[in-house]
Copies of this chain bind each other. A is one copy, B any other.
């Protein structure tokens, strides 16, 4: 068989190393498409001049674009036969990515556990994205539930990795930028690190309705090959009767919406956790709100905000919709994303 139908649960083993296909040079073209598809307005990623005023050579790409490109490569090998994307942990953005950089991804299987039904199992992988100089750009862990090809295949010894509940503030890689000349007017908000308080919630007000063409173009740009996003002919017979929007599209739309209230918190430093609480479909309208979970002073110019970014579908976020009394996500909640971001200190 020359065509690849993806790995099944029994193909994985702890310690397995996977070099993922199709390195990609990220370009100004990708940045333009990312802006057109997400509406992102963070000045640091939008304007060379703004970035240069922070001491950078030019505008780096949005860390989430790097994340999607690095993640996309892993799908063919890791999650083509996944039933569910269960979670993310310990994600660290280590080095900025500039247009012209070439990204590739490698993964290591760090845990594995067959489910009691004998039909599926959970696979934990640590994925690393590296650039053309073999420098680490991003590393994260995700775990997925994968189907078995052969139900009679024996269950492997269960290995469940120890994962931090969140990235410790001490481990964050502070932005290598000057904050002295940060232009709050051009960035779109007067609010600095000092202005945010733990527990504070922000309704981001804006919203985007997702179209099939939009999420498909985005997901293909990331060279993510998961069939559920692209094949209506097959999905018409599936559980939902329609194509699912890639969870990363929801993350990026929510982060774009979060600009309105977090305009200076452009730089993402770490991904602590993430749950795609309910499926998102074309035609749905995405709203978002944020909560400040924690704060940390990380460098002379920057502080870090730990944020919970919650996105909903077809439900404004005035009342910060989240979970019900039993701790279960409300049905309109599509995303619960826990991350660290850098924001300049007023000093």
Mask, A13-50, CB within 8 Å of B = 1, is 00000010111110111111101111101110011111
Identify which of A150-158, A181-189, A323-331 touches chain B.
A181-189
Chain B residue nearest to A234 in the complex (CB): B207
Most buried by B among A25, A35, A191, A204: A25
Q: Are A36 and B33 also in contact (CB < 8 A) when A19-B185, A186-B104, A209-B231 are?
A: yes
Mask, A225-236, CB within 8 Å of B = 1, is 101001111100
The listed residue (B38, B207, B214) touching A213 by CB distance below 8 A is B214
Q: How far is the CA of A207 from the CA of B212 in the complex (A)?
A: 15
> Is A161 an interface position by the 8 A CB rule?
no
B186/A19 in contact, CB under 8 A: yes
List the B side residues contacting A283 at CB < 8 Å: 232
List the B side residues contacting A29 at CB < 8 Å: 27-33
> Is A206 an interface position by the 8 A CB rule?
yes
- Judged by DSSP, the binding face of A is mixed
B285/A49 in contact, CB under 8 A: no
Q: How far is the CA of A2 from the CA of B343 in the complex (A)?
A: 14
List the B side residues contacting A104 at CB < 8 Å: 47, 186
A263/B223 in contact, CB under 8 A: no
Q: How distant is A255 from chain B, measured CB to nearest CB, in Å? A: 13
> Is A83 an interface position by the 8 A CB rule?
no
List the B side residues contacting A22 at CB < 8 Å: 41-43, 46-47, 186-188
Instruction: State the oligomeric state as a number of copies.
Output: 3
List the B side residues contacting A221 at CB < 8 Å: 32, 35-36
Q: How far is the CA of A339 from the CA of B104 in the complex (A)?
A: 30
> Is A202 an interface position by the 8 A CB rule?
yes
The listed residue (B21, B208, B232) touching A263 by CB distance below 8 A is B21
Chain B residue nearest to A203 in the complex (CB): B3
> Is A260 an interface position by the 8 A CB rule?
yes
> Is A261 an interface position by the 8 A CB rule?
yes
A205/B4 in contact, CB under 8 A: yes
List the B side residues contacting A217 at CB < 8 Å: 36-37, 213-214, 217
Most buried by B among A21, A24, A212, A214: A21
Q: How distant is A215 from chain B, measured CB to nearest CB, in Å? A: 9
Chain B residue nearest to A212 in the complex (CB): B211
List the B side residues contacting A92 at CB < 8 Å: none
List the B side residues contacting A203 at CB < 8 Å: 3
- Extra contacts besides A36-B221, A214-B217 (7): CB < 8 Å: A32-B32, A39-B230, A48-B132, A50-B102, A207-B234, A209-B243, A232-B283
5 examples of A-B residue contacts, CB within 8 angstroms: A3-B205, A21-B189, A35-B221, A41-B225, A50-B102
**7 cross-chain pairs, A with B, having the tightest CB-CB distances, nearest first:** A29-B32, A21-B188, A233-B285, A213-B213, A23-B47, A39-B220, A27-B28
